[in-house]
Amino acid sequence: MQILRAYFYLMARHRWAYALGGGSLLLTNGLALAIPRVLGWAVDALSQGTTRSILISYGATIMILAVVQTLTRVGSRIWILSISRRIDYQLKGMMHDHLMRLAPSFFSAVSTGDLMSRMTNDIMLVRALGGPGVLYFFNAVLLYVMGLGYMLSINWRLALIVFVPLPLMAWFVRGLVQKAKEYATGSRIALADLNTMVQENLNGVQVVKSFALEDAQCRRFEELSEVYVDWNLKEALTRAKMVPLVGLSGGIATLAVLGIGARMVAGGSLTLGDLVAFFSYIGILVFPTVALGWILSLIQRGAAALERLDAVLKAPITISSPQKTESSPPTPAAVRTTDLTVRYDDALARYHAIFGPTDDQEGGRRAALENVDFEADAGGFVALVGKVGSGKSTLLKAVIRLVEVPVGSVFLDGIDVTELDLADLRRQIGYVPQDDFLFSSSLAANIAYGRPGSGAEEIEDAAEIAGLVSDLARMPEGLDTVVGERGLTLSGGQRQRVALARALLPAPAIMVLDNALSNIDSDTERTILDRLHSSRQSCTLIVSSNRISAVRDADRIYVMDMGRVVDVGRHEELIQRPGLYADMHEQQKLSAELERL
Amino acid sequence: MAARKPIESQRDLGILRRLVPFLRAHIGLIFVSALFLPLLAGSQLVQPYLLRLAIDRHIAPAAAGEADALVGFGTLLTYFAILLIAELALRFGQIYLMQLAGQRIMHDLRSAVFEHIQNLSMSFFDRNPVGRTMTRVTSDIETLNDLVSQGVVAMARDIVTLIAIIGVMLWIDWRLTLASLVIVPLLIGILALLRSRLRAVYNRTRTLVARQNAFLQETFSGIEVVQAFVQEDRNRGEFLEVREDILSTELRAVRLSSLLSASVQAATTVSTALVLVYGGFGIIGGAVTVGILVQFLEYLRRFYTPLEDLSDKYDTLQRAAASCTKIFGLMDVRPAVEDPDSPRPLPPFADAIRFDNVAFSYASTSAADAADPESNGPSIFDNLTLSIRQGEKVALVGATGAGKSSIIKLLLRYYDVQEGSITVDGIDIRELAPRPLRRAYGTVPQDVFLFTDTIAANIGLNSSEVSRERIEEAAQRVEADAFIRDLPGGYDARLGERGANLSFGERQLLAFARALAFDPPVLILDEATSSVDSETEARIQRALRRLIADRTAIIVAHRLSTIRDVDRIIVLHHGEVREEGTHKELLASDGIYARLYRLQHAQAVGPA
């Protein structure tokens, strides 16, 4: 398991702290276990008659032991738990680092919720494993071993009696812990189902209200809640059973010690003080026994969490810079694909192998690309049109290598993109994705995202070209307006324009727009595209759209269907030929007019 | 508008009182479980007493060499064993009963919160992000779940135990008791101090972790953007900062919590020493027996654990109070659109739907107005009057913001008008119960929402009113049947999150089928603005025609073909009716519509 290696490596870096922690733990337990012994001696002294000063010295000894033991205990806890926090910190960094290198296909195959769960819950479980888990485990082991040692030193027969019920109880506890774990899993799944239902209910509030489904939803919710309660109760019952079990072993030990110990005292082979010491030891050993079940489950859950983290670290990095990179052309601008074929299934199969079946069900029906020949000349304007699912987005992503492309398929000024440094390639291309994703920060920060140090002038410039000026004028804080999570408080059209401004601010050589202006009326869209073209004349523009009005001025229009190019030409030629393009043209005439109202 | 005073401080433990009604429902269970407590406390007390007897009557004399010291010892042991078994059984019963009560209480609370949310009006959902509401129903209640089922039990048990132990100790020897407990005030003081510091640290950790999670969530959702703009390193740097903050806070928490748990341990041992010395003096002086000493040591052992537990529980109570504050804050929100007290029966939609002098604006959703729940945004309608007769098919046409979607929302009574009225068959819709009213409209919104459920469930919405036959029939009528049967599983195929694996056109057809399956008297359609390829377009148009055929239809239109199919067109502009009439009338009146039509006509015949 890769994760174990990583984890042990991290642990090894803290070996001195572990040593210190372990050492103080040893000392702590040694001292703590010595106290009952001293107590026993004191009791013996008392029953045989002693002086006050001797008594005080016993008392003082115990006090000192207590104080020192407290200090070492605090130290051991701080050392060991701090390590687990530091490892947590490093592990999160490692995971994040790896995730940054993975292709976007990974993030659509594995849901964000799943990833978040791994980065939060699973890391927390691993931390519990390496911190409290380790601490309490070794504490328990030390207590048992040293406790046994002390008791054996007093009277080996009695010591064995105390220890005999233990393996038995441990065996029973183990069975219960197993059961409890199963129920905990069931409970977790039931909770996830409940949460999903609530999320859908909230996201689909329009449907719920317009079809008056409230009562039905309440009933469904209660059903799911009952299932969850059932699992919880099963788990609770199992854990409740552990209590008497553990208590029984302690109780049997106490009874045995009382009964047999009394006889031994009568027979003279044991003193009263020894017996009292034994009771104290039983008391001290209760906690680790009780904690045993909990520690075991902690270890189990931590191990499962480690596996889940491992799955992420094992996800292959499919898009990266080559070892030896070609230098990119100074101002590249011509893009070409030759016989480009892209399939999503391979990537998905890889992820399925590691993660099990993922949530992503689009795989089977998602557009691949097949034998696509595409060309955009330097400074030119090329468009892609086609139905949803025809492969337009995939083609655009291939240009910027956001999907895996085979060697020898995509070229930038004649150089294979797989031989270029990835960062260089991407910096040359301004990409506006179909999903108008914005970060929750200010508009200025969003627009300047590609070039963080940008000045106000550059930002305003980009905003102007993207047609944001009038919108900004209506916002009291203008460019400093903070946009909510996923850019929620802006309208669809505004978000798209911000995404456009973001892409054009670094003045890239190539601009790729994936249905980027669909929420903007066609007149404004034309204006923006014109402005874009005229202000960045040397820039190559590749646009995918469903609107004829947006693409009619393109040098070349590619019509796509089912991952293939079915027609190419200029607007004037294409509307003469019967087919997809001509149909769309016909259809869209009035929509544009309506918007003008 | 809250019916109660707004909940002030999250620290206020009084909020926990709101849980009482939920507890009352299960009072039987709680009562029985509570009965166990004094019994348990009792057994905690008796065991050390038996131990003392064992020592004083049997073992000490045996050590001193007396002959029949162990006579009767066997009986004592038997009592001990019985007591042990009884205690264990009681502990088991009490834990389980309290868990049972706790789970049931949480179930009731959870269901109540969910039901309350269902009754809230659309304006609530406009203002509150899904994530936040979800937290209320899920994690806030979960937190409460853990705390109630474990915390309350333990607290009650601890308090009873402590009182019992102190009581008995005082009764046996009050001086020895004082010696045992002299250190307790000091301990409580230290605990209080450390706990309040720890609480602050935990709060900070929680805030930082929320920040971390929001950051990760954004990063994963927007990974394409991060990578396309080559900002991976920057992202790493930002994450590093967050991680470092979390680490330093957590290290502080480790230090404080270690001190805390060590204090209790220390206190126990120091008390032991004190009891030994003081009790020992008593033994030397002959006032105290060894048995009593051992008994006291046993009581001490059983004293500090519940004490530490209790101080722990204060924290627990605080967290419970915080969760309760949020949960009951939600419960206090009143729906903006209220059900009438005695609703009139739903009219048959036989006559007309009318808007009379309607003035309306949405409640403001801007952050600046968040403090005042009554503030309104810009006015949508100032004085709108229009009517739709039974069986009529009407198209609403106009630019974005003209008020078309608002008309639909008002018809569905998602919001109430500020002035004027909306009537159906002459009855003001505010006098009708909202749910039956809404069911009378078959609604197809702009963005089709699909559930992660089967196709059949998405069409019939798991309603008992809609049979499987109706579902398939509806699907056939809108030409969705073909593609549904093509899917693996057909009508029982499960859809992905948000209907992820269907194309836009397919989702539209499903939405039509859904509306059709319920066979409503009125159809409301808010046409999607996204442009699609013409084949899909044609299918949608055909389906639409079938959909509106036998009923009143109100369509927010964006397509020429849609407008061609209706009886009357209403042209809206800035919240006013600019023109209305049939296609012929509007052409003749030579207004906006006429211009549109001619433009389209000209484009069709002339060269591109």
* DSSP symbols for A108-176: HHS-HHHHHHIIIIIHHHHHHIIIIIHHHHHHHHHHHHHHHHHHHHH-HHHHHHHHTHHHHHHHHHHHH
Identity of the residue in B96, B106, B438 whose CB atom sits nearest the CB atom of A210: B438
Instruction: Using an 8 Å CB-CB cutoff, list chain A residues near B231.
Output: 449-450, 452
Q: What is the mean pLDDT of chain A?
A: 85
Query: Phi-psi category of A91—alpha, beta or left, where left has phi over 0 and alpha has psi -120 to 50?
Result: alpha
Whether residues A589 and B149 touch (CB distance < 8 A) is answered with no
- In whole angstroms, give the CA distance from residue B44 to residue B301: 11
Q: Which of A419, A318, A387, A323 is nearest to A106 (CA)?
A: A318
Q: What is the pLDDT of residues A200-256, one digit of tens each?
A: 898 889 899 999 999 999 999 999 999 999 999 998 899 888 878 878 877 888 888
- Comparing alpha-carbon positions, the chain B residue that sits nearest to A82 is B251
Average the pLDDT over B525-548 and give the result: 78
* pLDDT score, position B16: 80
Q: What is the pLDDT of residues A498-507, one digit of tens each?
A: 999 999 999 8
Q: Which of B488, B220, B536, B295 is nearest to A387 (CA)?
A: B536
Does position B375 have pLDDT exceeding 70, yes or no?
A: no
- Comparing alpha-carbon positions, the chain A residue that sits nearest to B305 is A287
As separate numbers, helices (DSSP H) first and strands (DSSP E) second, chain B gives 23, 10
Whether residues B63 and A272 touch (CB distance < 8 A) is answered with yes
Does position B289 have pLDDT exceeding 90, yes or no?
A: no
Residue linked to tokens 């054009």: A504
- Comparing alpha-carbon positions, the chain B residue that sits nearest to A284 is B301
Residue B395's DSSP bridge partners are B555, B569
Identity of the residue in B73, B218, B608 whose CB atom sits nearest the CB atom of A439: B218
ipTM: 0.86
- Comparing alpha-carbon positions, the chain A residue that sits nearest to B229 is A450
Q: What is the pLDDT of residues B248-282, one digit of tens each?
A: 999 999 999 889 888 888 888 888 899 899 888 88
Pairing of strands A415-416, A410-412: antiparallel
* pLDDT score, position B597: 67
Average the pLDDT over B216-222 and give the result: 89
When scoring B230, B471, B506, B535 by the number of chain A Cβ atoms within 10 A, the one with the most, hence best to mutate, is B230
Distance from CA of A576 to the nearest CA of B (A): 10
When scoring A210, A289, A480 by the number of chain B Cβ atoms within 10 A, the one with the most, hence best to mutate, is A210
Instruction: Using an 8 Å CB-CB cutoff, list chain A residues near B81.
Output: 251, 255
Q: Which of A361-370, B42-51, B472-481 has the lowest mean pLDDT?
A: A361-370
When scoring B186, B297, B412, B497 by the number of chain A Cβ atoms within 10 A, the one with the most, hence best to mutate, is B497
Could you tell me if A72 and A24 are in contact, meaning their C-beta atoms sit under 8 angstroms apart? Answer: yes
Does position A3 have pLDDT exceeding 50, yes or no?
A: yes
- Comparing alpha-carbon positions, the chain B residue that sits nearest to A579 is B534
Whether residues A199 and B498 touch (CB distance < 8 A) is answered with no
Average the pLDDT over B178-200 and give the result: 87
Average the pLDDT over A167-174 and give the result: 77
* pLDDT score, position B40: 84
Query: Phi-psi category of A317—alpha, beta or left, where left has phi over 0 and alpha has psi -120 to 50?
Result: beta
Does position B368 have pLDDT exceeding 50, yes or no?
A: no
Identity of the residue in A203, A233, A400 whose CB atom sits nearest the CB atom of B130: A203
Contacts of B196 (CB under 8 A, 6+ apart): none
* pLDDT score, position B560: 64
Whether residues A202 and B414 touch (CB distance < 8 A) is answered with no
Q: What is the pLDDT of residues B74-129, one digit of tens each?
A: 888 999 899 989 988 988 888 888 888 889 999 999 999 999 999 999 888 877 77
- Comparing alpha-carbon positions, the chain B residue that sits nearest to A112 is B220
Using a pLDDT cut of 90, give the percent of chain B over it: 22
Identity of the residue in A258, A433, A589 whose CB atom sits nearest the CB atom of B54: A258
Whether residues A211 and B91 touch (CB distance < 8 A) is answered with no
- Extract the tokens encoding A516: 């980027």
Residue A129's DSSP bridge partners are none
Whether residues A77 and B262 touch (CB distance < 8 A) is answered with yes
Residue A260 identity? I
Whether residues A585 and B608 touch (CB distance < 8 A) is answered with yes
Instruction: Using an 8 Å CB-CB cutoff, list chain A residues near B536.
Output: 387
- pLDDT tier at A361 (50, 70, 90 boundaries)? very low
Does position B329 have pLDDT exceeding 50, yes or no?
A: yes
Instruction: Using an 8 Å CB-CB cutoff, list chain A residues near B73.
Output: 259, 262
Whether residues B266 and A67 touch (CB distance < 8 A) is answered with yes
DSSP class of residue B443?
E
Whether residues A42 and B503 touch (CB distance < 8 A) is answered with no
Q: What is the pLDDT of residues A310-340, one digit of tens each?
A: 888 888 898 988 888 777 776 767 888 888 8
- Extract the tokens encoding B340: 């009438």
- pLDDT tier at B533 (50, 70, 90 boundaries)? low
Q: Which of A540, A546, A570, A538 is nearest to A557 (CA)?
A: A570
Does position B499 have pLDDT exceeding 60, yes or no?
A: no
* pLDDT score, position B146: 72
Q: Which of A295, A246, A130, A204 is nearest to B130 (CA)?
A: A204
Q: What is the mean pLDDT of chain B?
A: 83
- Extract the tokens encoding B489: 């599983």
Distance from CA of B70 to the nearest CA of A (A): 8
Q: Which of A142-151, A322-331, B31-40 has the lowest mean pLDDT?
A: A322-331
* pLDDT score, position B376: 65
Whether residues B258 and A241 touch (CB distance < 8 A) is answered with no
Does position A597 have pLDDT exceeding 70, yes or no?
A: no
For residue B273, how many other CB atoms are within 10 A of its CB?
A: 24
A476-504 burial: b if 16+ Cβ within 10 Å, else e: eebbebebeebbeebeebbbbbbbbbbbb
Does position A384 have pLDDT exceeding 90, yes or no?
A: yes
Average the pLDDT over B325-338 and give the result: 87
Q: Which of B454, B558, B560 is nearest to B510 (CA)?
A: B454
Instruction: Using an 8 Å CB-CB cutoff, list chain B residues near A389.
Output: 503
Q: What is the pLDDT of residues B223-255, one digit of tens each?
A: 999 999 999 999 999 999 999 999 999 999 999
When scoring A29, A39, A47, A48 by the number of chain B Cβ atoms within 10 A, the one with the most, hence best to mutate, is A47
Contacts of B391 (CB under 8 A, 6+ apart): B551, B552
Identity of the residue in A70, A208, A225 whose CB atom sits nearest the CB atom of B262: A70
Whether residues A46 and B284 touch (CB distance < 8 A) is answered with yes
Pairing of strands A335-342, A369-376: antiparallel
* pLDDT score, position B599: 56
- B256 Cα distance to chain centroid: 32
Whether residues A51 and B284 touch (CB distance < 8 A) is answered with yes
- Comparing alpha-carbon positions, the chain B residue that sits nearest to A54 is B277
Average the pLDDT over B426-440 and give the result: 91
Whether residues A450 and B229 touch (CB distance < 8 A) is answered with yes
Q: Which residue has better confidence, A25 or A300?
A: A25
* pLDDT score, position B5: 42
- In whole angstroms, give the CA distance from residue B399 to residue B379: 16
Average the pLDDT over B475-482 and give the result: 89
Does position B589 have pLDDT exceeding 80, yes or no?
A: yes
- Comparing alpha-carbon positions, the chain A residue that sits nearest to B245 is A89
Q: Which of A110, A99, A107, A102 is nearest to A318 (CA)?
A: A102
Identity of the residue in A81, A222, A271 whose CB atom sits nearest the CB atom of B254: A81
Whether residues A66 and B266 touch (CB distance < 8 A) is answered with yes
Whether residues B221 and A89 touch (CB distance < 8 A) is answered with no
Distance from CA of A426 to the nearest CA of B (A): 6
Q: Count Cα atoms within 13 angstroms, Cβ side, for B72.
A: 12
- pLDDT tier at B44 (50, 70, 90 boundaries)? confident
Residue B344's DSSP bridge partners are B432
DSSP string, B59-111: IHHHHTT-TTTTTTHHHHHHHHHHHHHHHHHHHHHHHHHHHHHHHHHHHHHHH
Average the pLDDT over B294-300 and give the result: 86
Identity of the residue in B60, B118, B500 whose CB atom sits nearest the CB atom of A361: B500
Whether residues B560 and A275 touch (CB distance < 8 A) is answered with no
Q: Which residue has better confidence, B487 or B418?
A: B418
Q: Which of A30, A24, A74 is nearest to A284 (CA)?
A: A30
Instruction: Using an 8 Å CB-CB cutoff, list chain B residues near A200.
Output: 451-452
Distance from CA of B85 to the nearest CA of A (A): 8
Angle at B538 between CA B537 and CA B541, to 5 degrees: 90
Q: Which of A280, A285, A288 is nearest to A35 (CA)?
A: A280
Using a pLDDT cut of 70, give the percent of chain A over it: 93
Average the pLDDT over A99-112 and give the result: 86
Average the pLDDT over B529-558 and give the result: 80
Instruction: Using an 8 Å CB-CB cutoff, list chain B residues near A429.
Output: 228
Instruction: Using an 8 Å CB-CB cutoff, list chain B residues near A586.
Output: 534, 604
Identity of the residue in A65, A237, A590 whose CB atom sits nearest the CB atom of B600: A590
- Comparing alpha-carbon positions, the chain B residue that sits nearest to A451 is B229
- Domains of chain B in start order, with CATH, are 15-331 (1.20.1560.10), 449-519 (3.40.50.300)
- pLDDT tier at B15 (50, 70, 90 boundaries)? confident
Distance from CA of B537 to the nearest CA of A (A): 8
Inter-chain Cβ pairs, chain A and chain B, closer than 8 A:
425
- pLDDT tier at B370 (50, 70, 90 boundaries)? very low
Does position B366 have pLDDT exceeding 60, yes or no?
A: no
Whether residues A60 and B63 touch (CB distance < 8 A) is answered with no
Residue A53 identity? S
- Extract the tokens encoding B338: 């209220």
Distance from CA of A371 to the nearest CA of B (A): 23
Q: To the nearest 10°, the Cα dihedral for A54, A56, A62, A65?
A: -90
Could you tell me if B396 and B556 are in contact, meaning their C-beta atoms sit under 8 angstroms apart? Answer: yes
